Structure 1
Amino acid sequence: MTRVDEHVAPDATVTGSALARALFTPAAVALVGASADESKNTARPLRFMRKHGYSGRIFPINAGRTEVMGLRAYPSVAALPEAIDHAFVMVPGRHVPEVLEQCAARGASVVTVFSDGFAELGEAGMAAQQALALRAKELGVRLLGPNSIGVVDVHSGAILSVNAVLETDTLHAGGISVISQSGSMLGALLSRGAARGLGFAKLVSVGNEADIGVGELVDLMVDDSATEVILLFLETIRDAAVLGPALRRARAAGKPVLVYKLGRSAQGEALAQSHTGALAGNDAAVDAFLRKHGAMRVEMLETLFEAAPLARRYATAIPALDRNPRIAVVTTTGGGAATVVDRLGLADVEAVAPPTAFIEHMAARGLKIRQTPILDLTLAASPAQYRDLVEQMLQSDWCDAVLCVAGSSAQFHPAYAVRPIVEASAVQGKPLLAFLAPEAGQSLTLLQEAGVPAFRTPESCADALACLFRAARTPLATGTPPEPVIWPAGLPTHGDLSEFEAAAAFGELGVPIAPMALVQPNALQHAVPYPVVAKICSRDILHKTEIGGVEVGVRDNEELARAVARLVDNAGRGAPAARLDGILVQRMEHRLLELMLGYRHDPLVGPMVMLSAGGITAELHRDVSLRPAPVSLEEARDMIGEVRSTRLIRGFRGLPRGDVDALARAIVDFSRLAVVQGVRIDEAEINPLFVRAEGVVGVDCVLRLSATPDAA
């Protein structure tokens, strides 16, 4: 069965600049199914291209007419007199395969399929989509869609789309490009952005992503001279292996990528049925994936386009901070400023009061200000003094950004409230942004023309600023990836492993595991020093405490014999169908702190490693840090810092310090599960992992491979 999110590898013959030309600036296009009735959707692409200045050749395809809107029409693509670069297909889905064949014969490099009736309809539609994608690959044709509302290049006027928002008389060209998995949201983003004076370069609706996906499009836009910032509207991630490197290229090229993804709630994303999955569901994994690869994920749809000017101007200039960002706030409306400061506080961005030295500095320049986190100048300053204050803040070292909040005067007196901000923006040094409390179109335009990022809601303003600093704290990964790891001989290659087998696998990676021995109920000899823990060992019982499968504090052979009898009895009652490998005898270990290491192969973004509070209460605390695996030593240290529980071993209130270096190395080694060859690891867990004054040691191990031998 073909899934809706299965992705066919692109044909190498049409990629890179050749693909970009055919996709965005084709010299000749065919509109397959173009209607002469201008009230129909299928008439829109021709009208749009004429309206917005497309200068290439357009060939309407209409089997029932010889002319469409003044252009000669052709009964089929096969009847065209010359080659085409791009075809936009609007016929019923059942006719698309035949059209694809004709497009290939006429030299088309790209076929965009607006038609639906494919994977979104179920199993039969999935099969039809897969067959279409495979045939396109055989023909050397790239496929956008199906179920794509189209592609737009504002600069060239190539409007191969039926989106009604393109009825607008003017498309403002600029540096923002948009890739959306929702066709309707493509138009919504364009219209909302245009209402704020933002200009666009390229917009693409990817549809079902049978071939061309989000990742490859990001990669194309990195090389596009017209694109300065990239916006992604995502419902899922289908091509993580392509998207990750593309996001890193965009970050390295200084082209910020802002992402809005649906699925924040538990209702939007089903959680995996395991400890690791319950703590870190798909959305948390996606969040970690985007952060690692340099994208800026916003919380609000409004922020997606409002943050574009902020990211474009400052994303490459923000230093990485080892503390919460500090923001200077100056306002002409105390209440309006408080709405933003309140939201910033939720994002760990702190509005700070100026130090005494700065207050004295400004007093010497003729302006008296108070030592408060919000500097209210409503009645205290002239426009010249307002400008001077902002300029001095931008050059100071006590804040990391300056936020100007304008009140009602922004609506009727922009010369007073906004002109000082515009004039001060010439000073370079740190981010300067503005929030306009009233609806003030003229002031908004003044700010945007000056390149000052301006916001219309306190929520989007705070969201954007928090994203900017959060991205700066996550440097792109550098260094050599770890070498592949060969799966140990003698261990199972699919299904669940016993704890004894899981411990052996983790030990091969270099993760310290408490000494243990596997014994039988009728043969309890072992070399593990007392006191010990006795556990049921079975591939069918991964979480033993739930059936009374663990006995702690066993002090000698006699106690071990009694403990084993209880364990066997409990297993017989709690898991009667389980096959027992024996009894695991493990040395009792001391600790300063219990943590949990988890690993999961996420269905969207692949291998993830997790560090969290440990023990049986791990799921209650939700004190978690997550990263795509494998991780570097630097990333491991960042994970430790993000888990609040680890403060207990990092000098909190004079408590004994734990071996944080050993913990970081264990995280790195455990994360190498992602590069194991020969098997597909679905899930793994060490819970608890004990942190000691010297070293760490794992005392309970779970490892689950794919259920089928050939999954790797």
Structure 2
Amino acid sequence: MNNPVSAVDFAQALFSPRAIALVGASGNLQKNTARPMRFMRKHGFQGKIYPINRTQSEIMGEPAYADLADLPGPIDHAFVMVASDLVLPLIDSCAKAGAKVITIYSDGFGETGPEGMAAQDALIARAKQLGVRIIGPNSIGLADLHSGMILSVNAAFETEKLVTGGLSLVSQSGSMMGSLMARANARGFGFAKSVSVGNESDVTVGEVIDALVDDAQTKVILLFLETIRDSPTLARALERARAHNKPVIAYKIGRSEQGDALAQSHTGALAGNDVAVDAFLRAHGVLRVRNLETLFEIAPLAQRYLGKTAPHPHPARVAVITTTGGGAATVVDNLGLMGMVAVAPPPAFVAQMAQRGMKIRETTIIDLTLAATSAQYKDLLEQLLRTDWCDAVLSVVGSSAQFHPELAVKPLVESDKPDTKPLAVFLAPEAMASLGLLQQAGIPAFRTPESCADALSVFFQPRISAPPTLPAISWPASCPQQGLLTEFEAAQVFKTLGVNTAQAQLVSSEKPAHSVPYPVVVKVSSRDIPHKTEAGGVKVGIHNTADFEAAVQEIGRNAKAYAPQARIDGFLVQAMESRLIELILGYRNDPLVGPTIILGAGGITAELSPDFAIRRAPVTLEQAHAMIDEVRVTKLIKGFRGLPKGDCEALAQAVVAFSKLAAVTGVNVLEAEINPLFVQSNKVLAVDGLVRLGD
């Protein structure tokens, strides 16, 4: 086995290869396999290019080689464009020729089904033995636009001149890579690198991001995602990007069905994979946008202001100035939908501007349609950017952006703009020239009110830190190590973590005597009946021994009728507890992104009212308090309309303790749930729960 490729050699071979082999290159200019050669000649790549073709001795005026063994010198990177059944033997040839990275355009592998996946697995196994890295298969290729190194068949590179800049794109969709670049280029956004990861069988999105963090030409990293693979590597790369102040912006489509069989608790129903992915991305500093165009339009906002703005209240406050009242209203409406608020200038600011010769009103939108010169517009803008009553300034420009940019666009460019308060611009008309001026000045400018509001809401979403590292927690020796635990066993796990549980005792079917003070709740105990209420396996408000014995008999009959094959361990006797509110506290080891924790409205209405907060697990006490604030129903325990206050500190500590399931060793905790979790005035208690373990 050869030595694996180092990170430095990987990055060099990936983006700065000195010599490239185009395996399967064609001299027929109508074929896709002719494009990489043609693109690199067109865009001035200075490295060596070796076309490989068994039937041609010359391609586009360059010598062609029948075999990689015939090359006059070593290569760093090979781009393979042959039929799928020919790819595996070529891995050895590429490695012998010196390739450290092989990008495979060929399809017919894992994306086609089990047979293709077997072929892909064999290919990757051989590559690992040889110590080479694989991008793809089914990759449309990659590019370094600054050097003209275009290892891609994407038609986007047909352009006469590449638009270079500081954006780098990593895409799980080959076709969307070109589409996004074309849309962004039309707006004047230039690119440094682009990579289509294809089937992501070896080199992952995280590894490409890691290489881009060290790339001097890359200022902002854009991601087009369909799913998450290798979340640990991705998390480490995203943390490196955050540490190096390189914004990462993502657009993710679809909801993965991977692991849906695990979603058997309320937690899984409430928090599907998409919200888990969202929690993962936020935990690692990614700005996830909702609109496709926002993916690149938000880049100047992130590059210029991210990490430099002062802490702000929630919701974020936006001062809006405009030369088109209707256009501004469309953005303000969208701001409200996305959790922000347009704020009117306070009287002191109105008076301040009056002293400076400009009359404005205390209205949500500062409308200057007919009332301001270019100089006054510039002065107002500069004053707004230095106030403390708003967190951002939004300029909405009307028809002047199209026909008279000197009136409202020129002041935006020429004004003194600190990097501590974001300025964003929405141009109501189609005004590409003005958009270009703003882009050149590094001012975030948007074509639609939706993308403008999307960008601001994502920028101002609360920052979340990565999950803390905890010491390992041992599994209770008394509990099983696989399968579904009973409620009694689950309570033992919760106690180990530090979660308070209601007083309870497990009694046998033969001698159902207990020492729990009345009144009590009686429940069937069986790992085969996870949802006891549906089985008629719960009786509440038991006040004496006679009622207790009758309840045990009735629950036993109900359980037998509901699940005749179920094994009954006995009956759980639990002290009756009061509560101010019921919550659900859930944990899930998501198959895509790993451990997540959810806090939400609990009880039997949990699925009817999707009111929840989710984070990667484990969480800190500060993060737990933030989760509590996000759940709307918790207002009922914070003095809402004079209602009694609950113990929010104990609730936060319970969330932290429960999230420590992520640190448990010795077992595979797939999911766990406390539902309901009772919040009282001076404590928090788990009164029902389940834990599901994997093999």
TM, length-normalised to structure 2: 0.98
What aligned pairs does 1:14-53 form with structure 2 within 5 A after superposition? 14-53=5-44
Change (3 A) 1:467 1:571: same
Aligned pairs for 1:210-289 (under 5 A) are: 210-263=201-254, 272-289=263-280
Contact 2:256 2:273 survives alignment (8 Å)? no
Please say if residues 184 and 190 of structure 2, whose CA atoms lie closer than 8 Å, have aligned partners that are also in contact: yes
**Distance (whole Å) between structure 1 residues aligned to residue 426 and residue 258 of structure 2:** 33
For the pair 1:524 / 2:524, whether they are aligned, the reply is: no
Q: Which residue of 2 aligns with 1:3?
A: none
Correspondences of 1:108-127 after superposition (within 5 Å):
108-127=99-118
Given the alignment, which residue of 550, 555, 569 partners 1:567? 555
1:91 maps to amino acid: V
**What pairs up with 1:649-664 in 2 under 5 angstroms?**
649-664=637-652
Q: 1:589 aligns with which of 554, 565, 577?
A: 577
Q: Aligned letter for 2:30?
A: S
Q: Which residue of 594, 600, 607 corresponds with 1:619? A: 607
- Measured after TM superposition, the shift of residue 678 of structure 1 is 1.2
Distance 1:425 1:337, change over 3 A: farther
Residue ranges of structure 2 left out of the alignment (5+ in a row): none
Q: Is 1:442 the counterpart of 2:442 in the alignment? A: no
Partner in structure 2 of residue 7 of structure 1? none
Structure 1: which 4+ aligned runs deviate by more than 6 Å? 265-271
SS across alignment from 1:607 = strand
TM-score of the superposition, structure 1-length normalised? Answer: 0.96
What is the 5 A alignment of 1:632-651? 632-651=620-639
- Residues 259 and 529 of structure 1: is their aligned pair in 2 closer, same or farther, counting only changes over 3 Å? same
Instruction: Name the residue aligned to 2:465.
Output: 476
Q: Give the deviation of 1:229 after TM superposition.
A: 0.5
Task: Spell out, residue by residue over 1:196-249, the C-alpha distance to the aligned partner (whole angstroms, 9 max, x if none).
Answer: 101111000000011100111111111111111010000000111111121122
2:308 to 312, 317, 330: 317
Structure 1 residues 47-93: Cα deviation after superposition (integer angstroms, max 9, x where no partner): 11111111000000001011111111011112212110000000011
Bigger mean CA offset, 62-71 vs 443-452: 443-452
Q: Distance in 2 between matches of 1:372 and 1:252?
A: 40
Letter of the 2:233 partner, please give it.
V
Equivalent residue pairs, number? 695
* CA–CA distance in structure 1, aligned partners of residues 392 and 261 of structure 2: 39
How far the C-alpha of 1:313 sits from its partner, in A, is 0.9
Match of 1:501 among 489, 492, 495: 489
**Residue 550 of structure 2 corresponds to residue 545 of structure 1:** no
Change over 3 Å in CA distance of 1:515–1:179 after alignment to 2: same
* CA distance, structure 2, for counterparts of residue 323 and residue 128 of structure 1: 52
CA–CA separation in structure 2 for the residues paired with 1:174 and 1:679: 49
User: Which of 487-496 and 612-621 deviates more?
Assistant: 487-496
Paired position in structure 2 for 1:6 = none
Structure 1 distance, partners of 2:538, 2:433, is 71
- Supply the distance in 2 between the matched residues of 1:269 and 1:579 (Cα, whole angstroms): 26
Give % identity.
60
Shift of 1:673: 1.0
**Is the contact made by 1:320 and 1:474 (CA closer than 8 Å) also made in structure 2?**
no
Question: How far apart, CA to CA, are the structure 1 residues paired with 2:446 and 2:221?
Answer: 19
C-alpha distance in 1, partners of 2:352/2:261?
56
Match of 2:137 in 1: 146
1:41 Cα offset (Å):
0.2
3-state DSSP of counterpart to 1:512: coil
**In structure 1, what is the equivalent of residue 342 of structure 2?**
351
Distance in structure 1 (CA, Å) of the matches to 2:387 and 2:102: 54
Cα displacement string for residues 568-615 of structure 1 (whole angstroms, at most 9, x for unaligned residues): 010011111111000111111121111111111111111111101111
Residue 572 of structure 2 aligns to which amino acid in structure 1?
Answer: L
Whole-Å separation in 1 of the counterparts to 2:645 and 2:236 = 38
By how many angstroms is 1:322 displaced?
3.4
**Does residue 1:395 correspond to 2:383, yes or no?**
no
Indicate whether 1:605 and 2:596 are aligned: no
SS at match of 1:616: helix
Q: Which moved more, 1:315-324 or 1:375-384?
A: 315-324
Secondary structure in 2 matching 1:619: coil
* Structure 1 residue 428, shift from structure 2 partner: 4.6
- In the alignment, structure 1 residue 61 sits paired with structure 2 residue 52: yes
Deviation at 1:11, TM superposition (A): 9.4
Give CA-to-partner distance per residue, 1:88-125, whole Å, 9 cap, x none: 00001111111111011111100000000100110011
Give yes or no for contact 1:487–1:678 (8 Å, CA) kept in 2: yes
Q: Distance in 1 between matches of 2:3 and 2:454?
A: 40
Q: Is the 8 A contact 2:308 2:419 kept in 1?
A: no
User: Contact 1:289–1:627 at 8 Å: present in 2 too?
Assistant: yes
Distance 1:704 1:381 in 2: 66
The separation in 2 between residues aligned to 1:90 and 1:380, in whole angstroms, is 63
Give the CA RMSD over aligned residues: 1.7
Report how far residue 307 of structure 1 moved: 0.8
Give the corresponding residue for 2:357: 366
Is the contact between residue 54 and residue 67 of structure 2 (CA under 8 Å) also seen in structure 1?
Answer: yes
